[in-house]
Structure 1
């Protein structure tokens, strides 16, 4: 840059010239800005990322050396080193600039002011550098912290002679601090903890490119290991020492460059130091990288699929290499023969002869069978995993394989730990070779908040849930699934349905239909009978049927149950579909499955099983359902000490429809709450559904008046309770009879049932018009998932109500705002079903005017406009 900024010829300290420093800093800042702009342009032209990060490091090197020359005399006894990522010669647009000033304490003190001037000059030039000033002995002391050692290991001399380089090298040598074995153990534990912070998966909606599982830090960890154990910190040295295969090396280098390019672009798009690929940046980054929307996927989905695939490969290779480093440090360990071809080495399943495994798919399938038969193993030996990776090209697609090979695959599904086998095959790339359609959905994301996993990871989560059902011991999240599983004739058919249920995503068209075609072709190729093939095909085609029925229709209505039972047709299909639906919903998002949905599906399963046993030609009539529920509820109340006269009086306080649409235990609980209350009194009950985190059932009986439903909803919303289902019935004597299924928005701090009851009693005792929806800050991510509101208003099936459907962006307080509009429009709510799918709300209401008649066209249009205005006013810009 500025050639005048050289130290005096006599070696004395350069004079302090504040005006000159300011001019130099301004010139340096301008030069760096021009360099960064040129690098950004080169990035947009598609230039190799390694050249770009090296180019920025070079530009920063020049500026730092000039600043050093302006401030520090040549004979000061101080040396300057780049450390950390900057020490590797890699600088991304917003990367940290870490410096080490090396010198004895006497020199440090003598030039303390000059060093402060040097750092200030860098900041004035726009380089937000951090510097540590240490002697070699202080470096050794500081390196007791392994994170400091890691940064110092990647040093690069900026202004340093050979003696200084040797002194730093010796100060952090393994014989002084962190010998190889201790360093390995602490870095492995550091990586484990780092992965745990991200849920041990790279498949996050907003992944961290640097520190997340499969990110750049995992590759750097391998380099640090190589440097400490092998004496060389580059991946090429691992080839020389036989620690990595050529295919593994090429893969790791390819994914490193792919991740680095994403990180470089992220820094450009964010304009600040950012390592997390947030929703704010995903779309602009995908555009900048040249991705475009097509018929099958959005540009952002294409970019994210590339990331997830890269991260998955990095994780696989990282796991293998760490295992090899461990073996080098700890020795080969004990070997235990398993059969003539396999053994356990240090607890890992290993093929005795690598060349045997590389013959083809039959040998690979045999390996997975042996692995499944020995659950005590620690995993797959790294050298066998290496051989397996080199064998992948020899594995044919199933439709090109011999019948004997297909039978081997089906034997794995019928053998021990079939879900583990499929998980391992997916992780190691075998499943994608055998089923090419699975490879297509590997790493495929959907740009929404509902699907929090990639398609392949969601599929594996569904299979893991099925394995939980198969265990037979029960899981508190699933009340009924483990009792249904034993009814399955051939459990492998359900596993195949789970494997194929989403395999058609990303190809355009209905993924259920596409997946059903794939499933049939697979089953026929593998020799399954027509009956078994038809079951798997039907399950894939109809895998959403039970979820939609339970969440969007009234399953207490005998007609709904009869229609669903007719579609299912037999008990075998019902049991398979029930288990698949539970596993599918629970495997979509950790927040999606809850006690209410568990009970909802269990109730639908029970009611449909009864309908099938009774016979579809004998549908249950409403009167018969009411009588059965009353008898069962009466027995429960008698057991609690109520007399028949008491029960008759309590039942007379309830609407007839409540006996049709409630379970007997609900009816008995509501009746007990009404006992002793005056007919004009407000009665509120709240109870836990199941367990502390299972949500609540809330019941309100009170004299009817305008705005009651909205007041209840607003109050529940203020208590932090999200409504899942609401039912508003007209009770005897001008009362309303409302029930709500609610979940706490903060499961860690839920209100007590008594707190809910008191809050509702207070709210309903006063002026209802004073209760207004709370205003909340909308979550940041919702602005990236705006859904244009769709409001449908049509006559209900019975002709006595209007059916209102609302699809819009979900947000806190949405239902409170909607019911507030309904109150302002003098609209009464008789039923509500609240369904949320990520950022998407799909709510259904049965409504009527103030005279309990369907809305006419004028009232419908007024309501539609009022709802649109309220939703627009509350939407983030």
Structure 2
């Protein structure tokens, strides 16, 4: 029996109409099968879930419940085969259960997924009486167990968001399971079925859990998400079933094609992501504000009954939240007599009061203020609003629920209309987690937490000593706003800050300093991860750019907060350590040179002698090295080399030792060997073959021709203990002796990798730049992060006979910047540099 089912045959535009048309096709196929089988008595085919709602997308599961009135096992088995096999043959994902109505209700107690499946049910073919019998049993069962069912749904939501995303506005949103996704919308429908006996959003409006405007906004957001999900499935085509539950993840590399399928611009993935982000924001907000009330009522009875017979079970807040405000049900409410027309700061004051206590606005208050703000046009800043807004920022993470209210009310665009461009603006790169304004609010929250001691006493003390922490908070709020306009976002953002801050009139806020914070918010991370911190010239350049210690301290704290708000790929203990060291050194420069930015060679040598008195190995080493080695290495590394350098290594001999690194989750590998060209490349290759990420590498040579190298690395799996490190050291020795093919070892590890690099929205461009100077020059290679990249690049430099003195690797998501410190003649032949650049580009190009 052929069904003729093919989703490609549906001609409707992706969206609700397409889903209804596809559902009708599936209905027709199933109904036809039932008629051919003559199985329309004592049997009913019931659609469940998205199929019941007529929301089938191309990759949706077709969930069926085969209700029967006591058929025999053989007949049921034959029916399932003859009904489901054609659907499976057509490529559909079909889930089915075969039960009587009473068995179905009993089975619902087995898990929340089975229970929620009962809420959406629709007869496709067969005996309607069986579905009516099921409904008569299911509705009272759902209502009796409403409290437990909604509690179970709450737990399931928590698990779902842990995997798919806690906040709306993600750069790669999960359309179904993420915050504000379709599952949140469905959860409200299910809650209505459990609490009110009728599935859908309309019952929630009738029972005053939602307003009519809420209902319209949720429906529009749901249509948007359904349309995008439908188009995404069509774009995926044959790859509808990726590993895990990722079919509904709107990945960066699929966004342009999905937009094109929907007719959004000429395949404008950014515009599509903006629409999805705002839709999920609407759903998430209304879900978060409604769900606690639904849960409380399910557990304890309807709220209007409690209101007359029992006091609210939410704890009363002490003290008044402010003039014209009151506490109600644990939230901030506005007195009926207070209006925005009479008190323009009313909304901002209410939000600040809520933000300081970590609560939200009372629902009726939020809706009333939203209507008043919409009718007020642009609001003028006045003292009460300014003070309240700064208080909101100072509340940090505690204020995030109130900031959700502020977004729903449209408060900031009312005071600053240009903020409309910032709201929901997508950041389409793989290392940012969230959209622009979410990132900005999160940066402010992270900054306040750092000031409270999140990262330690030193950072908290810096925050405490700022002349104006409010200036830094405003700088954090504005640091990336330039991304919403064309051009270099740091330059554009600084210009906007100079325009906005004076017009806002915040008391005590230094507009020029805010602009400098915005202009240079990437300066410290860039220098820390891509420059030689032992170069006095680099430190002086940073000091000149920032201008003063207050700005430097602010930029340091902002860099830490910005990285944490960006996502896990943007920060690490290693990067934090580099930032801290750069900050310390530049601070000494700005302090007027009272002490050097770092210890000189003589001081390092004296400290080494003090820590190892009478050790002839230390004296031998100190007498044979360049002062720059001592400055770069520091005391700990000098002593590590001294322990390995005697006796003099024989030709082909290499000695290695591993110790804890300078930051958490890092290790330092010290290498001593007879100097030879390509030694750093060889070592980098061995480390890559063991899955180690090289963060920093340094290479020096004694007057006697002994190589003194060291590598800061981030361990891979299985290298936390001693045996793993001993294998690394053994392979370094084998490679130096010519007993290990390094390139083959890297290739073998790559073949063993379980995960393939995932596709990106656009290939990472490869760029090679030279910064030629007298002394050490810089060569920077920017490109896609691939296994063994440092090894391949270092080999190219070795073959070009460039003397490499160090390397620093900065990885951000799928991108990497490998910086080499080399000795190159600034007056060298340009053609030679061009050839070297081409060779480096070729080495950085991924092999397919």
TM-score range, shorter chain: 0.7 to 0.9
With 774-783 and 93-102 compared, the bigger mean Cα shift is at 774-783
Structure 1 residues 827-876: Cα deviation after superposition (integer angstroms, max 9, x where no partner):
44222222223333222223459xx998645654443443344444x334
SS at match of 2:682: helix
Per the alignment, residue 459 of structure 1 pairs with 440
How far apart are residue 184 of structure 1 and its match?
1.5
* Unmatched 5+ stretches in structure 1: 1-20
TM-score by length of 2: 0.88
> Do 1:670 and 1:685's aligned partners in 2 also have CA atoms closer than 8 Å?
no
From 70, 75, 96, give the equivalent of 1:131: 96
From 671, 690, 715, give the equivalent of 1:719: 690
Cα distance change on mapping 1:555 and 1:127 into 2, 3 Å: closer
Following the alignment from structure 1 to structure 2, what is the Cα–Cα distance between the partners of residues 763 and 227? 68
> Do 1:792 and 1:804's aligned partners in 2 also have CA atoms closer than 8 Å?
yes
How far apart are residue 70 of structure 1 and its match?
0.6
SS at match of 2:817: strand
SS at match of 2:496: helix
Per the alignment, residue 16 of structure 1 pairs with none
Per the alignment, residue 15 of structure 1 pairs with none
> Do 2:332 and 2:353's aligned partners in 1 also have CA atoms closer than 8 Å?
no
Cα distance change on mapping 1:396 and 1:510 into 2, 3 Å: farther
Per the alignment, residue 213 of structure 2 pairs with 247
From 244, 251, 254, give the equivalent of 1:278: 251
From 364, 381, 384, give the equivalent of 2:347: 364
Per the alignment, residue 98 of structure 1 pairs with 63
> Is 2:304 the counterpart of 1:325?
no
SS at match of 1:781: coil
> Is 2:383 the counterpart of 1:404?
yes
Following the alignment from structure 1 to structure 2, what is the Cα–Cα distance between the partners of residues 218 and 515? 35
> Do 1:657 and 1:729's aligned partners in 2 also have CA atoms closer than 8 Å?
no
> Do 1:422 and 1:431's aligned partners in 2 also have CA atoms closer than 8 Å?
no
Structure 1 residues 169-198: Cα deviation after superposition (integer angstroms, max 9, x where no partner):
123233478622122211122112111112
SS at match of 2:487: coil
How far apart are residue 102 of structure 1 and its match?
1.3
How far apart are residue 311 of structure 1 and its match?
0.8
Cα distance change on mapping 1:523 and 1:380 into 2, 3 Å: same
Structure 1 residues 375-430: Cα deviation after superposition (integer angstroms, max 9, x where no partner):
5x5x5444444444444425765xx404234433355258x625533663256413
Per the alignment, residue 14 of structure 1 pairs with none
SS at match of 1:807: strand
1:290-689 equivalences in 2 (<5 Å) = 290-292=263-265, 299-329=268-298, 330=300, 331=306, 333-334=312-313, 336=316, 338-339=319-320, 342-346=325-329, 348-351=330-333, 353=335, 356=338, 361-375=344-358, 379-393=360-374, 397=378, 400-412=379-391, 417-418=395-396, 420-421=398-399, 424-426=402-404, 428-429=406-407, 430-472=411-453, 474-475=454-455, 480-528=458-506, 532-615=510-593, 625-631=600-606, 633-634=607-608, 637-638=609-610, 640-643=611-614, 647-671=618-642, 673-674=643-644, 677-678=647-648, 682-689=654-661
> Do 1:654 and 1:737's aligned partners in 2 also have CA atoms closer than 8 Å?
no
Per the alignment, residue 35 of structure 2 pairs with 69
Alignment length (residue pairs): 814
With 159-168 and 545-554 compared, the bigger mean Cα shift is at 159-168
From 787, 804, 816, give the equivalent of 1:812: 787
> Is 2:13 the counterpart of 1:43?
yes
Following the alignment from structure 2 to structure 1, what is the Cα–Cα distance between the partners of residues 295 and 442? 30
How far apart are residue 120 of structure 1 and its match?
2.7
Structure 1 residues 687-728: Cα deviation after superposition (integer angstroms, max 9, x where no partner):
22256x431222222211232111111011112211122222
Following the alignment from structure 1 to structure 2, what is the Cα–Cα distance between the partners of residues 705 and 286? 55
How far apart are residue 754 of structure 1 and its match?
4.8
With 565-574 and 831-840 compared, the bigger mean Cα shift is at 831-840
Per the alignment, residue 790 of structure 1 pairs with 767
Structure 1 residues 543-595: Cα deviation after superposition (integer angstroms, max 9, x where no partner):
11222222222111122212222222221111111111222223222122122
> Do 1:785 and 1:839's aligned partners in 2 also have CA atoms closer than 8 Å?
no
Following the alignment from structure 1 to structure 2, what is the Cα–Cα distance between the partners of residues 818 and 387? 62
Following the alignment from structure 2 to structure 1, what is the Cα–Cα distance between the partners of residues 38 and 72? 11
> Do 2:680 and 2:794's aligned partners in 1 also have CA atoms closer than 8 Å?
yes
SS at match of 2:556: helix
Following the alignment from structure 2 to structure 1, what is the Cα–Cα distance between the partners of residues 466 and 560? 15
How far apart are residue 233 of structure 1 and its match?
1.2
Cα distance change on mapping 1:113 and 1:621 into 2, 3 Å: closer
Cα distance change on mapping 1:470 and 1:394 into 2, 3 Å: farther
> Do 1:452 and 1:589's aligned partners in 2 also have CA atoms closer than 8 Å?
yes
- Bigger radius of gyration among the two: 1
Following the alignment from structure 1 to structure 2, what is the Cα–Cα distance between the partners of residues 264 and 459? 31
Cα distance change on mapping 1:644 and 1:479 into 2, 3 Å: farther
How far apart are residue 744 of structure 1 and its match?
2.5
From 42, 45, 52, give the equivalent of 1:80: 45
Cα distance change on mapping 1:562 and 1:123 into 2, 3 Å: closer
Following the alignment from structure 2 to structure 1, what is the Cα–Cα distance between the partners of residues 126 and 158? 36
With 259-268 and 170-179 compared, the bigger mean Cα shift is at 170-179
Following the alignment from structure 1 to structure 2, what is the Cα–Cα distance between the partners of residues 301 and 811? 27
> Do 1:101 and 1:134's aligned partners in 2 also have CA atoms closer than 8 Å?
yes
Per the alignment, residue 303 of structure 2 pairs with none
* Unmatched 5+ stretches in structure 2: 242-246, 301-305
> Is 2:671 the counterpart of 1:700?
yes
Following the alignment from structure 2 to structure 1, what is the Cα–Cα distance between the partners of residues 508 and 115? 64
Pairwise CA RMSD of aligned residues? Answer: 3.2
Report which structure shows greater RCO (CA 8 Å, sep ≥6). Answer: 2
How far apart are residue 497 of structure 1 and its match?
0.5
> Is 2:131 the counterpart of 1:165?
yes
TM-score by length of 1: 0.85
Following the alignment from structure 2 to structure 1, what is the Cα–Cα distance between the partners of residues 693 and 367? 50
> Do 1:202 and 1:308's aligned partners in 2 also have CA atoms closer than 8 Å?
yes
> Do 1:67 and 1:121's aligned partners in 2 also have CA atoms closer than 8 Å?
no
> Do 1:259 and 1:307's aligned partners in 2 also have CA atoms closer than 8 Å?
yes
